[in-house]
Structure 1
Amino acid sequence: MKNGLLRRFRHVFEPDPPENNHIHLNYSSEQLRKKVEFRQLAILKHRTTAVVAIRMLLILIFSGVCWKYVGGWVMGLWLGFALMHTLASMKSADDFFNEIEPEKKFRYWRNRSLQMIIVSGLSVGFAGFYFMIPDNVIVEMVLLALVVGVTFGSIPLYAIWPPALWAYVPCTLLPTFVKLFIIYETPWFVAVFWSAVLLLIIFYFGARLNSIYTQGIYRAFEREYLMEQLIYQRQRADYVREAAEMEINSRTKFFAGANHDLRQPLQAMGIFISVLESQADDQTRPIVEGLSKACHSVSTLVDQILMISKLDSKTIKINPIRFSLQELFAELEAEFEPQCRNKGLSLEVQSVPADIVTDEQLLERVIRNLLGNAVRYTSSGMILLRSKISRKNTLIITVSDTGCGISPEEREKLFQAYYRGAGGFKAKEGFGLGLSVVKKICELLSIDIKVISKVGKGSIFRLELPLRAQTSKESSPAKPQTLNLRPLDGTRILVIEDDRLIRESLKTLLEGWGCVVRTAEFYDAELAAKLVHESPIDLIFSDFNLGPEHMTGLQSIFRIRSALGRRIPAIVSTAAPRDAVISQYEEETEGLNFSDSAVDLMEMPLLLQKPISPHEINRAIHRLLDKK
């Protein structure tokens, strides 16, 4: 019972801290109590200077009014002591804030502050006891006004730190009350009763005021804790981001090296296999065809893995150009018509006459991957590649098939890397990467892709592109493409390639198509002189990276065009990221004020990413020559 009353009493005059999970998780109860008390003392020190200055002003006013009644050497000494104590209080506050780590010397500052507060209260209480003159109304009124004003005016300051309030108020009020009770001969029990009531009222309101201050301190602690957590989380996020960027840069460098090292031998293998196919007899043809399929499978896998790595690391650069959608569809029709015919499928291509602006190679890869999947997973029926202009003035491209279809469950995972649905396992082809590449490229080019499918009926992949260029309803139809390799009789081609195997294989391949081939390992002045004085060339086929000591293929093409004074159709093949070619092209052409002839000379060559199949090389050469 007794302990319960004591706890209630302490709760009124010394409230418990508010429940705050953030603060209690960060500090123990004892640590939290010490931090709160130190913060209270710091706030009190911060406000001490202004309060003691006002107190000294009131003391001076009292001395000036009452000097003729109670003046003398005692008041002089008291006035001097009050002034010295005021200065000492201000100096103590300055010393506290000049301390490097005052929290470590908290006990010293706590005791020193209590001593100064007690002395300050006793100096006011001494005045109330010693200078109180009986039957002098003026002195009594002014002195009571001083004591009461100083006491109640100091409550907001000392309520911040409860020990200061408990020490100061009795020291100021009790001596004055004792003197009044003596003068007016008040019974002791009445004096004790009213003194206790007044002190309890003051302490109660001081405790309530302290509760408000303490709540503010806890809120400040919470803000500091949350700020520390915010800074910590931000630093952690920066660290994770920097680590991720380092990992991405490391992976990008690795894949850049792997990109070149893997594509180069695959390029040579593909060309040599193509030459073998043209020379194979009935006995060796099945072996060569099997080797060709295996090489194509490895090339496809490497190409898709490298493409996904570049898309994931966001290092791929968009190269938007204006091109004919009809021509693109015609090339795709020429590429996939033989595959469809071999599987007994019919391929129908319907293209709206339009010139569009986007990255042609990336869009071509998207459509090619969709057509490849359609051919792979369709055993009978037809495949339709179609384009149209929507009412919203957007271009709609659809790839439809009559294949096995995709279930709703599979559609949710369709664009995940390495995912192959039931149809994929039945077809026993592919690696589950094609649609992942499609999705990432569509996000990069801001293309909306949707899938409509019904199991057993077929699928429709729908692409919606924003139109950035006006369509041309009267544009001429695309030139028909032959389904097989087209001859290039008499075409004079310059091949610049630093890899001997690829250089020789390209020469053999092109000569097999009837080309007149001239080869060079790199560009130099000697090559330029030969080109000027000997027979002209119709096309340049150059590798991009021709070694660290030589010009790149792009620079070589520009120098050859400049030396011959005319635009020569050119192809740049590269095993490095095509962004490197585009970046160098932008550097070469930046800030130039082109004339009409300069525009022709600095025209961007056709860019082909290794490994390049013979069909792609043949189609690219015809595409450039047909534009002449």
Structure 2
Amino acid sequence: MLHEAPTQGTQLAQLATFLLSRREAIMGNWRTICEADASLNILDGLTREEFTDQVPSMLDVLEKRLQTEVEALSPYQIAREHGLHRWHKGYSLHEILSEIAHLHETLLAELRLFWSQSPKVDHGALMIGYQQVSSLMHEAIGGSIAQYDEFQKAEAMERAVNLQRALDNVNELVRQRGAMLRVASHDLRSSFSVIQGAASLLDMPDNTEQERTEMLQILHRNFPRLASMLTELMDLARLEAGRETLQIKPFDAALLLRNLVESLQPLAQERSLFLNADGPDQLPVMGDSTKIDRIVQNLVTNALRSTTSGQVSVSWSRENQFRWLLSIQDTGPGLPSGSALWLSDQLRPAVESNAVFSENTPDIFPGPKPALAIGHMSAQAGEGEGIGLYIVKRLCELLNASLDVETRFGTGTIIRIRIPVNYTQ
């Protein structure tokens, strides 16, 4: 009795069964080929499950197609998931395409092995098997490329947004710098006009002794202010030119701050204010004592000039083994919200459990956050303060010091600076 030759469908089903029986060997051979590829440098860090990922699901689809069964998922969608996994693992597009090419090579080798073990298989069935493998790989490549294309578009859009944001920041800095220099020029012109007027009146021959005394007092008041503004402009020029460098050495921060507070007592007494210093007797740190001195000098001087009654307090402490804390608090009118936000580099001071101005203040600066209005800072907080605050901010950046601000209109301002205890050379 003659045996009927197996139909083409039966042979394709046999091929599907053969591939399933060879599944573990296929996965191992595929990895071996990939490991031999010098252009794939990520395999060492992948477990077996991470390496195979969605490939077994792709092979399930291939076997169902060979058996003319309906697949649950398309290889395109499976490949997209596989591409997503490989993206997160740091693969480049070239690497994932190389992996798919090696998988194709592995499956073709399995078809040759099937043919060698079943020499009577119909060539037409074998050709269909080759076509199904090629179609599967084509869809896998399409899905992977589509996933990578979406990621690359998203990355390009993010880079464009970041570049635009950086450009906007640069433009805003240029605008702020121009406004600040206009204010400084106005302040300088005002001081020069006052000095020039007083000097002219002082030369008049018919001045009384009292008038001469008043003119001299005007000169004495305006010369230090003029010198201070010129010094700030020179400091700003050095910072803008990048000529400021850190001079790291050990010093006692407590001693520096007490001496600085003592030197500013005459200004506090002149304005009938209390200037207090509080902190441990000693606070040995490594850092740039000169720049710390300049930061505190600017902040305390501004606080004294803007505060009309009450006090200014300077305090310090070691926060942890890495940073120490410097605080300046005043009972002045409070900083304009835009200035406070800018000074703390847009890091709004969250109202924490230790916030001083937290009562009835769920948001210190509610609503849209305004940009810095440097042009109004001098009028609201004292002449020259805009440059002084700008210098403080730049010095804090240079010192890798974080800065936050608490302020309430009509109550006062607290500025906290957290400074590294040590610096890596």
Give the TM bin, normalised by the shorter chain. Answer: 0.3 to 0.5
The alignment's TM-score, normalised by the length of structure 1, stands at: 0.33
Relative contact order, higher structure (CA 8 A, sep 6+): 2
Larger Rg: 1
